[in-house]
């Protein structure tokens, strides 16, 4: 599998586990809607859509000079945001569900892991500026309003001190907060929340718990589900915790599972297998 430009160039700022996903990584247009996922096509990673039953697979990107990854459906299921990785930079793009109407939203640099706001008007993503830590940024879906949400340094008394960077950001259901992972090392990271205005930074999980590479809010915004490594065992586990940092519990013990998605109907999770041939999860009608 090709290493994404963002993962390769940011290396010390975000772990490969947090930045890149297996070829089966999928997001869901929602019950009986299309899934979008990335897979190898020739020498490049491309995006595909497919029905939940595996029928009508359709390739929606055909890039010859870059790789596509980290796809995310807009809330209304009409557009896909994704990370496009070139040889020396990475950008956030959006396109229609068919692959047409392609737009770049970010300036030249290292940008990745897009996530839509609940109203579909904004996108949050990770951005790396050489010489600084990676941080969480915000842009409108039309490409305007680009601004940082987080600073790129944590107070040393917060248990970080030498943190490498941030990623895996996702909006809360009410669109007022963002959860993200702050990476300290290869196996060390913590989940934080912050207001969309950059205020109210709060650490949710301890750095000793491990790197969370996929985050999802519960529908009522009171809990966060995430995947993390199970030390001493193969694979990853799905976990949940209250946003105030209490009630941490493990939901699954999966060999090879890599990402976690929270059902819109409650505390249900879907784990992805690294197999490029499979991708399953709850969806909704469109």
Q: Which stretches does DSSP call E strand in 35-108?
A: 35-41, 44-50, 58-59, 67-73, 79-85, 90-96, 103-104
Q: How many degrees, rounded to 5, is the angle at CA 27 between CA 21 and CA 30? A: 170
Sign of CA dihedral 73, 53, 259, 18: negative
DSSP label of 4: P
The pLDDT mean for the chain works out to 75
Distance CA 225, CA 233 (A): 20
Q: Which of 45-49, 73-77, 234-238, 267-271 has the lowest mean pLDDT?
A: 267-271
Task: Provide mean pLDDT across the span 246-272.
Answer: 54
Top-confidence residue, 162 or 51: 51
Q: Does residue 139 contact residue 146 with C-beta atoms inside 8 Å?
A: yes
Q: Where would I find the H helices in 114-197?
A: none
The architecture of the domain spanning 5-218 is 6 Propeller (2.120)
pTM for the full predicted model:
0.75
Side-chain-side CA neighbours of residue 249 (13 Å): 5
Q: How many degrees, rounded to 5, is the angle at CA 150 between CA 145 and CA 153? A: 145
pLDDT over threshold 90, residue 8:
no
Top-confidence residue, 102 or 189: 102
Q: Tell me, what's the pLDDT at 271?
A: 37
Cβ of 187: how many Cβ atoms within 10 Å?
Answer: 16
């Amino acid at each position: 599998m090709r290493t994404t430009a963002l993962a390769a160039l940011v290396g010390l700022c975000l772990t490969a586990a947090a930045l890149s996903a297996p070829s089966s990584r999928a997001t869901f247009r929602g019950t009986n809607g299309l899934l979008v996922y990335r897979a190898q096509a020739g020498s490049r990673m491309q995006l595909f859509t497919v029905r939940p039953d595996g029928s009508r697979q359709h390739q929606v990107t055909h890039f010859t000079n870059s790789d596509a990854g980290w796809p995310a459906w807009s809330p209304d299921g009409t557009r896909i945001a994704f990370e496009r990785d070139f040889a020396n930079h990475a950008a956030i793009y959006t396109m229609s569900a068919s692959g047409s109407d392609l737009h770049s939203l970010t300036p030249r640099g290292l940008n990745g892991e897009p996530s839509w706001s609940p109203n579909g008007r904004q996108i949050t993503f990770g951005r790396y500026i050489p010489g600084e830590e990676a941080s969480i940024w915000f842009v409108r879906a039309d490409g305007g309003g680009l601004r940082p949400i987080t600073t790129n340094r944590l107070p040393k008394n917060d248990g970080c001190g030498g943190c490498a960077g941030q990623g895996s950001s996702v909006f809360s259901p009410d669109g007022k907060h963002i959860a993200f992972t702050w990476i300290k090392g290869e196996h060390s990271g913590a989940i934080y929340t912050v207001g969309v205005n950059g205020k109210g930074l709060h650490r949710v999980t301890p750095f000793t718990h491990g790197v969370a590479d996929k985050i999802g809010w519960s529908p009522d915004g009171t809990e966060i589900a995430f995947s993390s490594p199970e030390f001493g065992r193969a694979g990853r586990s799905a976990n949940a915790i209250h946003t105030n940092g209490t009630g941490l519990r493990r939901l699954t013990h999966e060999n090879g599972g890599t990402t976690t998605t929270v059902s819109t109907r409650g505390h249900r999770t879907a784990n992805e297998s690294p197999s490029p041939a499979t991708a399953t999860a709850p969806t909704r009608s469109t």
